[in-house]
Structure 1
Amino acid sequence: MSKVVLVTGCRSGFGLLTAVELARRGHVVYAGLRDPESAEALVGAAKGLVVRLVPLDVTRGDQREAVVEQILAEQGRIDVLVNNAGVALGGFLEDVDEDEFRQVFDTNVLAPWALTKAVLPTMR
């Protein structure tokens, strides 16, 4: 049985590969991208497969809510959430300013928590 899957951070890397592989295996895949206009690599890799592109900046509550509502309206459920979106900073801690650190924390900690909190009730 196919699953309805939301994968975040699908512009490149593991998110892109995960979305494509899940679609290849017959699952209904929603690929979240901060900017769907930057989906060239995903579209190319998913050629011949159905991967639904959705605008999703995981740090924005309005976009998280809209994506969950869209998937539920179209599919009636969300079976799997892959919290892949993330950012990293290099360098020394004393060189990182507060805004940069907040972006990392918001993207890597708060956003996955908030998206999981939004999706989890639909999985029960």
Structure 2
Amino acid sequence: MIVLVTGCRSGFGKLIAHGAARAGHTVYAGLRDLDTAAELLEGAPGGIVPLALDVTSDEQRQAAVTRILDEHGRIDALINNAGIAIGGFVEQFDEDEVRQVFDVNVFGAWALTKLCLPGMRARGDGLILNV
């Protein structure tokens, strides 16, 4: 399978990328900052391709999907894992903080799904997971 996973710097994203690669899949591991790729690849099995992907960037989302489609002709699975959280009392948050959470957690996942889903529907096959 050709798998795109967002938010692979650490945590679940890194674990998902490593696990999918260990299972023999080709994993495009989305990283907001490619300077962290060495950390992702440390101890990783082969089959992980670090990919510049800030899910809030239209340009980076399109470039990531285009690259994968150019190289493989399909994306079999999209795992929307990128996410951020803010803690505290709601009256303490400013609007920019809340918008950033929604941009990453909701709109980023929606936009990537919108880019990947047409190919999956055309093939009658595909998997989208929202973490």
TM-score, scaled relative to structure 2: 0.90
The equivalent residue for 1:30 is 28
SS across alignment from 1:31: strand
Cα displacement string for residues 20-75 of structure 1 (whole angstroms, at most 9, x for unaligned residues): 000000001000000010123211031x4120000000000110000000000001
* Structure 1 position 117 matched with structure 2 position 114: yes
Q: Which runs of 4+ in 1 moved over 3 A?
A: none
* Unmatched segments (≥5 aa) in structure 2: 122-131
State the AA in 1 paired with 2:96. Answer: D
Structure 2 CA distance for aligned equivalents of residues 112 and 22 of structure 1: 20
User: What RMSD, in angstroms, separates the aligned Cα atoms of the two structures?
Assistant: 0.8
Structure 2 CA distance for aligned equivalents of residues 41 and 66 of structure 1: 23
Q: 9, 15, 18: which one pairs with 2:16?
A: 18
Aligned length: 121
Structure 1 CA distance for aligned equivalents of residues 18 and 78 of structure 2: 15
TM-score, scaled relative to structure 1: 0.95
